[in-house]
Amino acid sequence: MTALGITVALLVWLVTLLLISIWKHIHSSWKLPPGPFPLPIVGNIFQLDLKNIPKSFTMLAERYGPVFTVYLGSRRIVVLHGYKAVKEVLLHYKNEFSGRGEIPTFQVHKDKGVIFNNGPTWRDTRRFSLTTLRDFGMGKQGNEQRIQREAHFLLEALRKTHGQPFDPTFLIGCAPCNVISDILFRQHFDYNDKTCLRLMSMFNENFYLLSTGWIQLYNNFSGYLRYLPGSHRKLMKNISEIKDYALERVKDHRDSLEPSCPRDFTDTLLMEMEKEKYSAEPIYTLDNIAVTVADMFFAGTETTSTTLRYGLLILMKYPEVEEKLHEEIDRVIGPNRIPAIKDRLDMPYLDAVVHEIQRFIDLIPSNLPHEATRDTVFRDYIIPKGTVVIPTLDSVLYDSQEFPEPEKFKPEHFLNENGKFKYSDHFKAFSAVYTRPSFRRPWMPGGVVGLWMADPCLWNKLMSEVWTAESRSKSPRSFMMLYQSPSLPALFPGSFMYF
Ligand code: HEM
């Protein structure tokens, strides 16, 4: 065939591909929410800034409205933007959109555990795990004591820094890591324990990598990219190593299990495994238990310690807020005792600061991807089964009607004119997690530990003991510089998401 013949054939092939794609798109999308026209193979990739997807979503929402469709490759994604649409989906469509969109870098967790499970075991594993977490104190007195106990270890570790500048990434991370580890394994790590540091460095690295443009690309085009070198390999290796660690702990527990006296979360899951010994399709296999435990470990540790780090950074950046906070802490708690959860009811400023930190850092701006479990009529659209659904959280946390000047850190966003705490239904840092108005505390596992551990009250009190007035006046700048270590990729994340 001549060169001209080849070129013509190629052109015909391309035009046919384009026509088929246009036809398929029109046919399949006539009842879908509006959105930019997708190109064959790549979809709308050129309309999205992979390094800042939340911003791209905001721009698309301005053009197409609060419910719109985009394609990443052939993956159809419906995005919900703004309070009304997000709340409607999370509240009234929680069953229809309760699936989990696939995240290929978490391949070893696929259809196992809680967070990345989209398979038949999800519902049971989730229900049982969350109940078990509560039984082990999550959201109850037990956890408060756990945290108070841990505070002493943290304080001791901080004292050893002798008021000198240090990078708090892992030192602070050890505290939530130990709280979660106690629930999961009844295990306490020393603050310089190599295994603990290794785990935390992987959690930290994973959280960072997940927000990078390359991983966004990989998670949507893994079919094409899986054989290439790149940071997805590192991320997947870390995820496997964390899972292997969890599996080892689960096996240790199995070998020393005493069914009449479950020690922790892992034992309780193993007892379920025991009950299903003769089942043809068991839910609680060793693998499922290991992934569930790894899910809790990662989700519980990194979210909380990142919130604490950013909370600390914010307090250093806004000394006037820190001053007011200290005044309230000194007045309500005083110097001689450790804070308790009930103190919070008398500390509206603290409550407002904690909420504002979580709003402002916007830890998971585009949420975790949900998936339509069946063809669903939503508003006037039909969203087919299997469509990825993203209820964006930044669009609610940064709503300028609810939070005037949302780009500014202002505890006043959560205070009324009398200085009392003002609950906002726009506080959706935990997504489909609703707060009980009487207690204003999310009931999801993450919510409870997260909020309390992310509580600058505790933190601030610790800091005030080790970071004396003198060293404070000398060291904030150097402390700040160290604080912005490479492990904190950006001053404020705002770009973390994964599909
Ligand atoms: C500051 C702390 C935290 C934040 C901001 C946070 C945020 C989130 C968000 C946005 C989701 C996605 C929810 C959705 O799919 O709609 C999620 C899911 C989840 N988080 Fe957290 N979380 C935090 C702490 C924790 C902790 C401490 C734990 C457990 C020990 C935890 C366990 C989970 C689990 C198991 C899920 C999956 C729930 C499911 O798929 O049904 N999180 N979290």
Residue 363 Cβ contacting ligand 1 at under 6 Å: yes
Task: Give the whole-number percent of the chain exceeding pLDDT 90.
Answer: 61
Provide the pLDDT for residue 390. 97
Closest CA to 63 of 37, 83, 89: 37
CA torsion through residues 39, 41, 44, 50, sign: negative
Provide the pLDDT for residue 20. 78
Structure tokens at 305: 């310690």
As a whole number of angstroms, the distance between CA 462 and CA 202 comes to 26
Which is the closest atom of ligand 1 to the Cα of 180? Answer: 30
Q: At what angle do helices 168-185 and 286-317 cross, to 10 degrees?
A: 150
Provide the pLDDT for residue 479. 31
Residue 199 Cβ contacting ligand 1 at under 6 Å: no
Which is the closest atom of ligand 1 to the Cα of 367? Answer: 10
Do the bridges between strand 75-80 and strand 388-391 make them parallel or antiparallel, or are there none, so unpaired? parallel
Residue 114 Cβ contacting ligand 1 at under 6 Å: yes
Residue 450 Cβ contacting ligand 1 at under 6 Å: yes
**Dihedral-angle region of residue 386 (phi above 0 means left; psi in -120 to 50 means alpha; beta otherwise):** left
Residue 430 Cβ contacting ligand 1 at under 6 Å: yes
User: 54 in helix, strand or coil?
Assistant: helix
Structure tokens at 444: 């999801």
Residue 268 Cβ contacting ligand 1 at under 6 Å: no
Q: Which CATH class is domain 1-9+45-471?
A: mainly alpha
Return the amino acid letter for 285.
T
Low-confidence spans in the chain with pLDDT less than 70: 1, 25-29, 139-142, 433-499
Provide the pLDDT for residue 26. 67
Provide the pLDDT for residue 28. 65
Residue 101 Cβ contacting ligand 1 at under 6 Å: no
Report CA(156)–ligand 1 centroid distance (Å): 29
Which is the closest atom of ligand 1 to the Cα of 449? Answer: 27
Report CA(153)–ligand 1 centroid distance (Å): 26
User: Which H helix or E strand runs over 291?
Assistant: helix 286-317
Provide the pLDDT for residue 493. 31
Provide the pLDDT for residue 499. 21
As a whole number of angstroms, the distance between CA 66 and CA 75 comes to 19
As a whole number of angstroms, the distance between CA 497 and CA 212 comes to 9
Q: Whose CA is nearest to atom 21 of ligand 1?
A: 446
Provide the pLDDT for residue 179. 92
User: 421 in helix, strand or coil?
Assistant: strand
As a whole number of angstroms, the distance between CA 142 and CA 341 comes to 11
Q: Whose CA is nearest to atom 43 of ligand 1?
A: 430
Pocket test for ligand 1, best of 115, 133, 293, 455 (most atoms within 8 A of CB): 115
Return the amino acid letter for 384.
P
Given a contact cutoff of 8 angstroms between Cβ atoms, the answer to whether 56 and 77 are in contact is no
Report CA(61)–ligand 1 centroid distance (Å): 25
Given a contact cutoff of 8 angstroms between Cβ atoms, the answer to whether 126 and 114 are in contact is yes
